[in-house]
Amino acid sequence: MTATDSVTGHRGVFVTLDGMGGAGKSTTTRHLNEHLAAQGYTVHVTTEPSHAELGAIARHGTDTYSRHALACLVAADRYHHLATEIRPNLAAGRIVLCDRYVASSFVLQRMDRVPIEFVEALNAAADIPDLAVILIADATVTAGRIERRGSHSRFESGLATSRAEAELYQDTSRRLGAGRWPLLTVDTTRTPIAHVTSLIAKRIAHLAGLPHADPATP
């Protein structure tokens, strides 16, 4: 990314966060946003499925839509999200933090029995992020976190599901790595959120460059 923010002077950086249910994607995204903003970076936080109409159908329709239909819905929302929200924010020099992206499709759609070839083809034209974070953790720990927090969907249904998800994330990392995606894998089993955050923030700062603005200045 070469675009820079007109106020802070740092580069736009596209960062995606994927990983097992309960590994901490949403929590880490929230902490990263606060951490980077406090350092003077301009951050745009987003999520997939997106907040657009198509995204809402995908997010709230996982019991209605399944398999190839859900895979297509999620991918269509992704391309619309890239065109209308992600690329414009990057062009304005912002750091874009996206909670879930292509890696989630490689895992969740396969858990939904869609062949990987179909998922790969659907996502072949999606932008490669500047940094693709994969959060992993021991399946017993993520299953326990989900049980305490409450399940978000049929993709989070106990220890067996978390174990299957863990294996699919390993395979997905191999595939994306072979496709030259810049991956950063963080195991959150015993890593406190503050440590997870500072680890990722350092990589982002390296990509974005230093902000010029004083964060205390409104």
Ligand X SMILES: Nc1ncnc2c1ncn2[C@@H]1O[C@H](COP(=O)(O)OP(=O)(O)OP(=O)(O)O)[C@@H](O)[C@H]1O
Ligand Y SMILES: Cc1cn([C@H]2C[C@H](O)[C@@H](COP(=O)(O)O)O2)c(=O)[nH]c1=O
For position 184 contacting ligand X by CB under 6 A, the verdict is no
Of 8-16, 149-157, 164-172, 187-195, the segment contacting ligand Y by CB under 6 A is 149-157
Q: Of the candidates 54, 193, 199, 207, which one interacts with ligand X according to CB under 6 A? A: 193
d(CA 211, CA 26): 25
Give the 3-state secondary structure of residue 196. helix
Q: Hey, which residues between 44 and 63 contact ligand Y (CB under 6 A)?
A: 48-49, 58-59, 62
Of the pair 152, 206, the CB lying nearest ligand Y is at 152
- Which amino acid, one-letter code, is at 172? T
Closest CA to 202 of 3, 35, 25: 35
For position 35 contacting ligand X by CB under 6 A, the verdict is no
Closest CA to 48 of 26, 30, 20, 64: 26
Of the pair 15, 205, the CB lying nearest ligand Y is at 15
d(CA 31, CA 148): 20
- Binding site partner of 173, from ligand X, ligand Y, none, Cβ cut-off 5-8 A by kind: none
Paired sense of beta strands 183-187 and 131-136, if any: parallel
Binding site for ligand Y (CB under 6 A): 21, 48-49, 58-59, 62, 70, 74, 100, 104-105, 108-109, 152-153, 155
